[in-house]
């Protein structure tokens, strides 16, 4: 009881090292858990507050506040997007990575998105530098900091996946989802990421068949759609660029004729 195993987690379809788990991050025996801290970085001071910062400081014990105070000596605030590492004291993990997520009031800006991304990147970098192999994240900024959950989930999944691709030393990253709404948002972000990866692979395969002169009837249909030829639009030069060819409307026209995608010989650019 109270012990979470990998069998309880849902792996990402694009990298099984990234997993989703619903539960309380303070219960996890892992190399490092991430705390969504505030910029004072001394722990939440509101008694019985429901934030993750309060849960982590409560269960780690007062020594954690003392270490945070030492780390923050001479520094009033921790900049948003940065991260610091401490020991974990009474918690079953080895380290705590403290990061300050962006606070959202009004519309999300590109700067907010970049700061949230850097929270994930900086925590993972600190984990690697400190010999951690397993890292567990909460959904940073989506509680009282009000980052819209769906967007935050997409950013988290994208950043973690990108980091894992270059860092084999990290063997498992668990996204800890505290409630079912958060769990659903992260599951949707993983599904969207897989759909995007499949779309990219399908296009690569299509380009390869064009290069090899091996387009199928299905390819012709999808190329017509991609190029909007069926709607009488001029074929794009993107296709040529992706094939590494000189991108001019004439070349695009000639290629589509050759592939049998464009079957009428009428000049599609009469205004030229």
How far lies 89's CA from each of 66, 92, 206, 254, in Å?
11, 8, 54, 69
CA distances from 47 to 21, 40, 107 (A): 27, 17, 31
Q: Please identify, using beta-carbon distances, which residue of 97 and 206 lies nearer to ligand ADP.
A: 97
- The nearest distance, CB 159 to ligand ADP, in angstroms, is 15
Cβ proximity to ligand ADP: between 112 and 219 the closer is: 112
User: Closest approach of Cβ 125 to ligand ADP, in Å?
Assistant: 19
Fill in the DSSP letter of residue 6.
G
Determine contact, residues 83/19, Cβ cutoff 8 Å: no
Look at residue 21 and give its three-state secondary structure.
strand
- Grouping H, G, I as helix, E, B as strand and the rest as coil, residue 19 is strand
- Nearest to ligand ADP by Cβ — which residue? 143
Rounded CA separation 139/182 (Å): 8
State in angstroms the smallest separation of the CB of 20 from ligand ADP.
12
Nearest distance, CB of residue 78 and ligand ADP, angstroms? 13
Minimum distance between the CB of residue 33 and ligand ADP, rounded to whole angstroms? 9
Cβ–Cβ under 8 Å, residues 216 and 224? no
Residues near ligand ADP (CB under 6 A):
24-26, 36, 51-53, 55, 101, 138-145, 176, 178-179, 182
Q: Which is nearer to ligand ADP, 144 or 215 (CB)?
A: 144
In the complex with ligand ADP, which residue's Cβ is closer, 138 or 235? 138
Q: Which is nearer to ligand ADP, 160 or 252 (CB)?
A: 160
């Amino acid at each position: 009881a109270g012990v979470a195993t990998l069998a309880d987690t849902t792996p990402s379809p694009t990298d099984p090292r990234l997993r989703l788990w619903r539960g309380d991050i303070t219960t996890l025996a892992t190399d490092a858990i991430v705390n969504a801290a505030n910029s004072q970085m001394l722990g939440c001071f509101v008694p019985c507050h429901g934030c993750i910062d309060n849960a982590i400081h409560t269960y780690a014990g007062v020594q954690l506040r003392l270490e945070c105070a030492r780390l923050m000596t001479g520094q009033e605030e921790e900049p948003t997007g940065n991260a610091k590492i401490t020991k974990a004291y009474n918690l079953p993990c080895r380290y705590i990575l403290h990061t300050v997520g962006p606070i959202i009031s009004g519309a999300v800006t590109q700067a907010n998105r970049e700061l949230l991304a850097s929270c994930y990147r900086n925590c993972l970098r600190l984990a690697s530098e400190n010999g951690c192999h397993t890292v567990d994240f909460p959904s940073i900024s989506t509680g009282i900091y009000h980052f819209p959950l769906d967007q935050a989930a997409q950013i988290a999944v994208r950043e973690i996946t990108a980091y894992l691709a270059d860092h084999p030393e990290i063997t498992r990253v668990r996204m800890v989802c505290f409630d079912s709404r958060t769990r659903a948002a992260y599951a949707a972000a993983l599904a969207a990421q897989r759909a995007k990866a499949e779309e990219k692979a399908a296009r690569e395969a299509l380009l390869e068949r064009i290069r090899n002169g091996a387009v199928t009837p299905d390819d012709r249909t999808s190329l017509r759609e991609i190029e909007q030829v069926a709607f009488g639009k001029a074929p794009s030069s993107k296709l040529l660029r992706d094939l590494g060819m000189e991108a001019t409307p004439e070349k695009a026209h000639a290629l589509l004729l050759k592939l049998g995608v464009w079957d009428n010989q009428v000049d599609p650019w009469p205004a030229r």
